[in-house]
């Protein structure tokens, strides 16, 4: 078999979007920008198209996909929404929130890994929204990275990881949020549960629903896959060993060998000329930390350090989602 040509990267012109929408309807894969991370999209109601996603990523077939819709009006096509779902949709869509609901027969089993539920979200990124509208069909899309590696937040990250395996990449600039969506299980609307923390916090969801929301269990193991498939303890991982710390002091940094990197939440005083000290946001603001986390893990991974020491975020709000990704990235 002849080797496939490498992926082509497209800018979001009207012509390119129309072309990519047609390719999606024909069953091809397109990597797409979203406000959270880049996704690898396929026609969600076409089982053969979705099978290509699993092959390209090396993703186990037990790990279900998220179905992206252009509008809340398409919900009934893929799932049976309840009143709680509609409330959250009104409050947070388009945006970084995914709802798990009972599926309809239109959704192929491969999308949901054989489950009776489906994960759905209406994304906010303007180019992805235009593509969804032009395609006119729901698009299944997991993060566009080889299974287990750090999620991509730029088109270039997608090209580095999957450029030899997929035909098309739509470049929509760097992701503005930088962490995957919050996933809420609403199969039983009287017991909403956050399965994966994200930019929309459990507190925000509880406020809109007017009831308590179960937070994710800290350790999700291979057995935990029963409740939250795909949420493995080890995920989003750089190849370089990663060690986490509540706080990294100047003294700690000074004692370390030069081949160990330090990733701080904020710019420290007097770190000038220290080539092994990095930070995620000048002032430690959590949105900036979230936005840059995955790109920084990739960069440090590429620089060949023997070890990365990373500082945890404060464990509140968006900090919980940041720490969740750091813990999974550090798990061995
Ligand atoms: O922000 C995001 O959610 C990004 C962008 C592309 O939208 N997507 C994303 O997809 O992070 P992925 O495949 O990397 O993570 C999807 C996760 C699965 O691993 C699984 O944990 C959960 O969604 N999921 C999907 N369907 C589910 C279901 N029926 N029940 C429970 N969890 C489900
Ligand atoms: Mg993923």
Residue nearest atom 12 of ligand 1, based on CA coordinates? 142
| Centre of ligand 1 from the C-alpha of residue 149, in Å | 15
Strands 182-185, 97-102: parallel, antiparallel or unpaired by DSSP? parallel
270 and 193 assigned to the same domain: no
Apex 54 CA angle, 51 and 56, nearest 5? 105
Q: Which ligand is nearest to the CA of 236?
A: 2
| Centre of ligand 1 from the C-alpha of residue 123, in Å | 13
Q: Measured from the CB, is residue 183 less than 6 Å from ligand 1?
A: yes
Does 217 fall in a domain? no
Average of pLDDT values for 85-96? 98
Q: Is the pTM for the entire model greater than 0.85?
A: yes
Q: Which ligand is nearest to the CA of 146?
A: 2
| Centre of ligand 1 from the C-alpha of residue 247, in Å | 31
| Centre of ligand 1 from the C-alpha of residue 151, in Å | 12
- When comparing pLDDT for 118 and 274, which is higher? 118
Closest by alpha carbon to 9, among 143, 173, 134? Answer: 173
The domain that contains 259 carries what CATH number?
3.40.50.11030
Does 96 fall in a domain? yes
74 and 181 assigned to the same domain: yes
| Run of H or E including 109 | helix 109-112
Note the pLDDT of residue 221.
47
* Per-residue model confidence as pLDDT tens digits over 297-329: 999 999 999 999 999 999 999 999 999 999 999
What distance in Å separates the CA atoms of residue 24 and residue 27, rounded to the nearest whole number? 5
253 and 160 assigned to the same domain: no
Q: Measured from the CB, is residue 143 less than 6 Å from ligand 1?
A: yes
What distance in Å separates the CA atoms of residue 159 and residue 7, rounded to the nearest whole number? 7
**Tally of domains in the chain:** 2
204 and 253 assigned to the same domain: no
Domain hosting 269: range is 242-330
Average of pLDDT values for 56-74? 97
* Final residue of a structural domain among 209, 230, 250: 209
Statement: residue 142 has pLDDT above 50: yes
Statement: residue 217 has pLDDT above 90: no
The domain that contains 162 carries what CATH number?
3.90.870.10
Note the pLDDT of residue 260.
96
Statement: residue 222 has pLDDT above 50: no
End-to-end CA separation in angstroms for the chain:
37
Strands 307-311, 260-266: parallel, antiparallel or unpaired by DSSP? parallel
Average of pLDDT values for 216-225? 53
258 and 112 assigned to the same domain: no
| Centre of ligand 1 from the C-alpha of residue 142, in Å | 6
Note the pLDDT of residue 228.
61
Note the pLDDT of residue 303.
93
Q: Measured from the CB, is residue 7 less than 6 Å from ligand 1?
A: no
Statement: residue 43 has pLDDT above 50: yes
* Per-residue model confidence as pLDDT tens digits over 174-214: 999 999 999 999 999 999 999 999 999 999 999 999 999 99
Q: Measured from the CB, is residue 228 less than 6 Å from ligand 1?
A: yes
| Run of H or E including 8 | strand 8-10
52 and 162 assigned to the same domain: yes
Note the pLDDT of residue 229.
63
Does 236 fall in a domain? no
* Final residue of a structural domain among 209, 225, 250: 209
143 and 268 assigned to the same domain: no
Note the pLDDT of residue 272.
67
């Amino acid at each position: 078999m002849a080797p496939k040509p490498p992926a082509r990267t497209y800018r979001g012109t009207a012509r390119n979007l129309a072309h990519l929408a047609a390719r999606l309807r024909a069953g091809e894969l397109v990597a797409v920008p979203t406000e959270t991370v880049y996704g690898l999209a396929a026609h969600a109601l076409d089982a053969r198209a979705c099978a290509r996603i699993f092959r390209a990523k090396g993703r186990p077939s037990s790990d279900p996909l998220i179905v992206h819709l252009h509008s809340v009006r398409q919900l009934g096509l893929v799932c049976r929404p309840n009143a709680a779902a509609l409330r959250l949709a009104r409050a947070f869509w388009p945006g970084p929130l995914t709802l798990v609901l009972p599926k309809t027969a239109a959704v192929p089993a491969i999308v949901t890994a054989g489950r009776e539920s489906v994960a759905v979200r209406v994304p906010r990124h303007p180019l992805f929204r235009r593509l969804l509208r032009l395609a006119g069909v729901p698009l299944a899309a997991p993060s566009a990275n080889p299974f287990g590696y750090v999620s991509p937040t730029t088109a270039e990250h997608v090209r580095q990881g999957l450029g030899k395996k997929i035909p098309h990449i739509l470049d929509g600039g760097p992701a503005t949020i930088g962490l995957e969506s919050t996933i809420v299980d609403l199969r039983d609307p009287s017991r909403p549960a956050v399965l994966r923390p994200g930019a929309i916090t459990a507190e925000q969801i509880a406020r809109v629903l007017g009831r308590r929301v179960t937070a994710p269990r800290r350790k999700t193991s291979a057995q935990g896959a029963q409740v939250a498939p795909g949420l493995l303890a080890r995920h989003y991982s750089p190849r370089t060993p990663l060690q986490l710390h509540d706080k990294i002091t100047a003294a700690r940094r000074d004692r370390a060998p030069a081949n160990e990197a330090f990733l701080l939440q904020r710019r420290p005083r007097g770190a000038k000329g220290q080539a092994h000290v990095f930070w995620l946001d000048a002032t430690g603001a959590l949105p900036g930390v979230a936005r840059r986390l995955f790109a920084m893990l990739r960069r440090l991974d590429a620089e060949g350090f023997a070890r990365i020491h990373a500082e945890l975020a404060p464990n509140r709000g968006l900090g919980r989602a940041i720490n969740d990704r750091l813990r999974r990235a550090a798990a061995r």
